[in-house]
Amino acid sequence: MKKILFMLCCALLPLAASAEKVQLSTPNNTLVLDVWKGGEPKFVYYGAKLSADDFASLPAPTNANWSHLDIYPAYGATHTMSETAFAMRHADGNMSTQLLVEEYGITSVDEQAPNGKPRKGSLLTIKMKDPLYPTYVNLYYFAYSDVDMIECWTDITNGEKKTVALTQFYSSCMPIRRGNVWINHFHGSWAAEAQMVEEELNNGLLRIKNKDGLRNATTDRQEVMFSLDGKPQENTGSVIGAALMYSGNYDVIVDTDDTEYHYYFAGINPDNSEYYLKRGETFTTPRVAYTFSKEGLSGASRNFHRWARRYQVRNADRERMILLNSWEGVYFDINQKGMDQMMADIKSMGGELFVMDDGWFGDKYPRNKDTSSLGDWVVDTRKLPEGIEGLLRDAKKNGVKFGIWIEPEMTNTTSELYEKHPEWIIKAPQREPVKGRGGTQLVLDLSNPEVQEFVFGVVDNLLTKHPEIAYIKWDANAPVMNHGSQYLKEQSHLYIKYHEGLINVCKRIREKYPDVVIQDCASGGGRANYGLLPYFDEFWVSDNTDALQRIYMQWGTSFFFPAITIASHISAVPNHAVFRTTSMKFRCDVAMSGRLGMEIQPKNM
């Protein structure tokens, strides 16, 4: 994300001598906090936009000890028995922290959103410090001026002379008043992603988390909706939607204790990720996006879709091309004649783009199945004697655009890349690597800048040599299977640094290639998240293309993601994943509810 371009009205508000109600509004939502110098900031209100009279009639803030409504509770000094958002070990071993306000203020912001579009809004900054230690935490709330979304995140700076350890670093916390509150969340697995779960919140702790390392949306999803007026309704009732925007391991918890609130916390999963901050270093957490709607689940969804299309999805203002992807049509059986035929066929059906999936590469080790070649991104000239040039020529002849599949974060034990760079893979120190897909797949360690350079180069080489390539399908089919970086000194930084590396690469690609369409795919819908979407145009929803099961997956996905991001393909019957036969009309209708495409061998239709 580009830096803030300029700030208007930069002056921080004068410090209030006593507690102040601070409000931040979007067109239809208001957030109110109580803030005062020397105190812990407290939650007051989040919901429908308040009129001036409503705001004035909110109870006056007091410094009373209602510590349960602290908006960013830190562990150890005043909070030990309840859940906290932040915990650390100071350099002297002290495990307690207290975060008291030093100053706060609201500024107007006019900057570039992560998808490259300009955005405007108001930024509330609350600067906090521990009274005993030079530990600084800034809490931010950014309210958009034109969409009902408030994003919240923090940054943490170590001012101590020695390194400190962060052991918990959630992005945000939100108390939600009790009283027949329900939650919608989305659980899944490979080929059955985003299955909606709807349940009443009860006493106890609900934890939704991911520890895959790479694909954080295959099983549980990090986005949740809270219905405040009883069982969720499609078009009525008050709903809060919350989406953590992260590409890596995450943690979302909702704690219901003996008080009058449910407490929502979301952020990077701290398990096995203790983070060491050196003197003067700053750690920034990912954002959580909040919306509120009085129009039920659909209202909250519409707010997310509007925000996403404007600020979080690449090129969402552009019409998408109808495409044919080769995977379910020919799998690894790639050859020049076959590709040419598929291009002609998709053109004859009114399509605009042909995407060659897995199986096109490998020199010393040809990619004929999933056991070899990842990392060797050179054309297999036994299959494609005229190379990508020949394919681009055929695409032009057939009047369609051309796209290509890659899986740049991976390698196989059988590959020239692994022979050359065994030190680039993720593996536990002194242990044999655990291998994934095909019994040979390994993950490259993106915390290593050399690996970042290589992964950037995979895309850069393709697009520099072949600027006519219009579409890239970026796949990722393995998790972190044993813990270890051959590059990092601090092993517990692996998960966090991997994702910093991934985002660095994505940013570089988008700076150089803002217009190429890029699909985010990870064994199906494993990377449907707002951490990555700003750098991608769409994501693959699932490897299961059965139209009936797709209705449930696409419906679950649509709670937070707009249709333009949901790649949906007409496929053959009986379906390759579940062997069901459905009508062509039904398959077309389901595929047309997302970004329409096909994944079929047209000549067999």
Residues that bind ligand DGJ (CB under 6 A): 327, 357-358, 405, 475, 477, 521, 523-524, 540, 543
Can you give the three-state secondary structure of 78-116, one letter per residue? CECCCCCCEEEECCCCCCCECCEEEEEEEEEEEEECCCC
Q: Which is nearer to ligand DGJ, 403 or 524 (CB)?
A: 524
Mark whether 475 is an active-site residue: yes
- Roughly what angle, to the nearest 10 degrees, separates helices 547-558 and 584-592? 10
- Shortest CB 327 distance to ligand DGJ, Å: 5
- Shortest CB 350 distance to ligand DGJ, Å: 23
Q: Which is nearer to ligand DGJ, 405 or 498 (CB)?
A: 405
- Shortest CB 547 distance to ligand DGJ, Å: 16
Tell the burial category of 505 from Cβ atoms under 10 Å away from its Cβ (0-12, 13-18, 19+): buried
Q: How far is CA 473 from CA 177, 388, 402, 522, 595, in A?
A: 43, 15, 11, 10, 14
Beta strands 323-325 and 595-599, pairing class: parallel
- Shortest CB 349 distance to ligand DGJ, Å: 20
Measure the CA–CA gap between 299 and 70, rounded to whole angstroms.
Answer: 28
Q: Which is nearer to ligand DGJ, 158 or 523 (CB)?
A: 523
Q: Which is nearer to ligand DGJ, 45 or 552 (CB)?
A: 552
- Shortest CB 556 distance to ligand DGJ, Å: 17
Total residues found in the chain within this entry: 605
- Shortest CB 445 distance to ligand DGJ, Å: 21
Distance of CA 350 to the CA centre of its chain: 33
Picking from 86, 69, 88, the residue whose alpha carbon sits closest to that of residue 175 is 69
- Shortest CB 358 distance to ligand DGJ, Å: 4
Tell the burial category of 217 from Cβ atoms under 10 Å away from its Cβ (0-12, 13-18, 19+): buried
Residue nearest to ligand DGJ (CB): 358
Q: Which is nearer to ligand DGJ, 224 or 516 (CB)?
A: 516
Q: Residue 15 is encoded by which pair of tokens?
A: 């410090």
Please give the helix or strand (H or E) that residue 175 lies within, else none. strand 164-177
Can you give the three-state secondary structure of 362-398, one letter per residue? CCCCCCCCCCECCCCCCECCCCCCCHHHHHHHHHHHH
Picking from 169, 151, 153, 150, the residue whose alpha carbon sits closest to that of residue 249 is 169
Q: Residue 350 is encoded by which pair of tokens?
A: 């009114």
- Shortest CB 433 distance to ligand DGJ, Å: 20
Q: Which is nearer to ligand DGJ, 351 or 524 (CB)?
A: 524
Q: Which is nearer to ligand DGJ, 34 or 599 (CB)?
A: 599
- Shortest CB 65 distance to ligand DGJ, Å: 52
DSSP string, 548-570: HHHHHHHHHHHTTS-GGGEEEEE
Q: Which is nearer to ligand DGJ, 401 or 569 (CB)?
A: 569
- Shortest CB 475 distance to ligand DGJ, Å: 5
- DSSP secondary-structure letter at 263? E
Q: Which is nearer to ligand DGJ, 290 or 360 (CB)?
A: 360
Residue found under tokens 């509810």: 593
Can you give the three-state secondary structure of 294-340, one letter per residue? CEHHHHHHHHHHHHHHHHHCCCCCCCCCCEEECHHHHCCCCCHHHHH
> What residues are paired with 292 via a beta bridge?
240
Picking from 554, 572, 549, 556, the residue whose alpha carbon sits closest to that of residue 564 is 554
- Roughly what angle, to the nearest 10 degrees, separates helices 387-398 and 336-348? 20
Q: How far is CA 99 from CA 22, 30, 40, 288, in A?
A: 18, 24, 6, 20
Catalytic option among 34, 130, 543, 546:
543
Q: Which is nearer to ligand DGJ, 250 or 405 (CB)?
A: 405
Catalytic option among 340, 475, 520, 546:
475
Which positions are catalytic? 475, 543
